[in-house]
Amino acid sequence: MIFKKKLYIKGMDLKQNNNRRLISLIAPFAIGFSLCACGSDNVAGGGPSGTEAGNAITAQILIANAPAANARVKLVEHNSLDGQGYTATADSNGFVSIEHVAVGNYTMEASLDESALALQLPVDVKDTVSDVTLGQQNLQKSVFIGGSITDFIDDTTESLKNMNGYVKFRGLDHSAAITNGKFEIFGLPAGHLNMVIIPAETADTVKVSVETDAGDSVTTLKPNTPEPEKETLLIDDFEDGDFYHRLAPEYTNFMFGGGQWAINTDPAIVNIDTLPGSFKITPVATYTPFGGSPFTAVIQDDGNGGKEVHFTIEFPDTSAYKQASAIVKVDIGNSGVSYDLTPIDTIAFEAWGQGSSDFVIIDATLKDVDASLGGAAFTIGKTSMELTQEKKKYKFALADIVPNEETRKSATTMGLVFHSDAELHFDNLEFIGNDLLNIWKSNK
């Protein structure tokens, strides 16, 4: 459905075109319902012309091809705003005839059942002796138009936002009061509608053209701004085999801890069999020479010519360490610096293996936290997941993990937290959203 809107300004008279400016808007609009009528029988009708002419407008008004008895019919000059015209009522067979019609261009409207059904048809009367036969016309569902005036025009000045006045339709006997900038009108016939907004306070008027279908409910003519297509930003696929994510070299001081991957445990004891509090991580991670990281040990071949993170973790004696936990994590940017994640719509990654985990987002810059909670005190959002034996792509809406938008504006880290033995395969961490590189311009 297409709407075309024109705004006339500067005190223009309804029948004058002087001193006006024109603003046009063409916008798409979803189609709703409309209606139409038809009729013909010799039920007399008449109008204001007083002519002695012998012509007649005839039609048969139907509902789903059955006669619409007692349908109300009105013939109004097509540019008129006063709704005055010729009237008639259909007989029991739906036939209607309006006689002695003056030469001119008209709109014929038919309606029935308290405005639930209606129609409009253009009628061209060329002379005062020839009949105009409109044939059979089926009524359809009527149209509603209403809401705020500012949703129908471009001018959003305060005087129009809260205006009082009237809405009228050229060629139709329909009008509605505008109170504090709002109006509503039911029972309009579907099709092309020429709506005129008439403020009470000024002589300026606004013309709005609307194309409708049966049953439409029109509450705005302003186009819906399409959402920009989401972009996908690959954070890491581990193909380079290093311990910092793909954006780190350009957007962080990665040589000094920016954008790094790590596995942290609590207690911080790993692969020391003689200590009861030790985790066992396989493959064994050992420090490499200066500038290296034990994380590189868990970047393994994926069996398809690529790389992935793959390790198993066994927890220490739970009777001694009931709160033991481990996290495989990545810093979003520089270590200890928070970033605004609001450009992210969705976080996605591939994971599979065995065990349970929580995907968490952390803000390590939080203050006044409960120290007894350990690392969990800095968690601003989390969602639980059960690893499957088959590769699975997980997608989590950021708003579901961190519902508070203000909280999403400060995050340092994200990762997977484990509280019991597990095996993890992990690959292809992605951010999905818009303007994603702005994340690394928001560091605090």
Classify 161 as helix, strand or coil. helix
Residue 132, domain CATH: 2.60.40.10
Q: What is the mean pLDDT of residues 66-94?
A: 94
Q: How far apart are CA 350 and CA 339, in angstroms?
A: 24
205 with 353, same domain: the answer is no
**Within this chain, do residues 275 and 360 fall inside the same structural domain, yes or no?**
yes
* pTM metric for this prediction: 0.53
Residue 223 lies in a domain: no
Percent above pLDDT 70 for the chain: 80
First vs last C-alpha separation in the chain: 48
- In this prediction, residue 116 carries a pLDDT of 80
The verdict on residue 97 lying in a domain is yes
**Residue 124 sits in the same domain as residue 85:** yes
Domain that holds residue 272: 231-441
Q: Are 339 and 421 in a shared domain?
A: yes
Residues 134 and 149 in one domain: no
Phi/psi for 440 (5° steps) reads -85, 0
Q: What is the pLDDT of residues 334-362, one digit of tens each?
A: 988 999 999 999 999 999 999 999 999 99
Q: Which of 115-119, 205-209, 211-215 is the least confident region?
A: 115-119
pLDDT at residue 288, as a whole number = 59
Choosing from 218, 253, 283, the residue where a domain stops is 218
Q: In this predicted model, what pLDDT tens digit does every residue of 37-66 receive, in sequence order?
A: 333 333 334 444 434 447 999 999 999 999
Per-residue pLDDT tens digits for 98-128: 999 999 999 999 998 766 888 999 999 999 9
Any domain includes 377: yes
The position carrying tokens 């006045």 is 165
| Residue 41 is assigned to a structural domain of this protein | no
| Kind of pairing between the strands at 379-386 and 356-362 | antiparallel
Confidence bin at 369 (pLDDT 50/70/90): low
Q: Judge whether 334 lies within some domain.
A: yes
Residue 278's pLDDT band (boundaries 50, 70, 90)?
A: confident
Question: For residues 397, 399, 401 and 402, what is the CA-based torsion angle, rounded to 10 degrees?
Answer: 150
> CATH code at 206?
2.60.40
Mark which of 218, 245, 270 sits at the end of a domain.
218
Domain check: are 213 and 276 in the same one?
no
Is-contact 360 377, C-beta < 8 A? no
| Number of Cβ within a 10 Å radius of residue 194 | 18
Domain membership flag for residue 255: yes
Per-residue pLDDT at 214? 92
Residue 26 has pLDDT above 50, yes or no: no
| pLDDT, average across residues 236-257 | 89
Residue 2: pLDDT band with limits 50, 70, 90: very low
In this predicted structure, what is the pLDDT of residue 109?
95
Whether residue 406 sits in one domain with residue 422: yes
Mark which of 218, 240, 275 sits at the end of a domain: 218
Residue 350 confidence (pLDDT): 97
Does the residue 226 lie in any domain?
no
Strands, E assignment, 93-190: 95-99, 104-112, 117-125, 132-138, 140-141, 143-148, 165-169, 175-178, 182-188
Whether residue 309 is found in the same domain as residue 362: yes
Whether the per-residue pLDDT at 170 is higher than 50: the answer is yes
| Same structural domain, 362 and 239 | yes
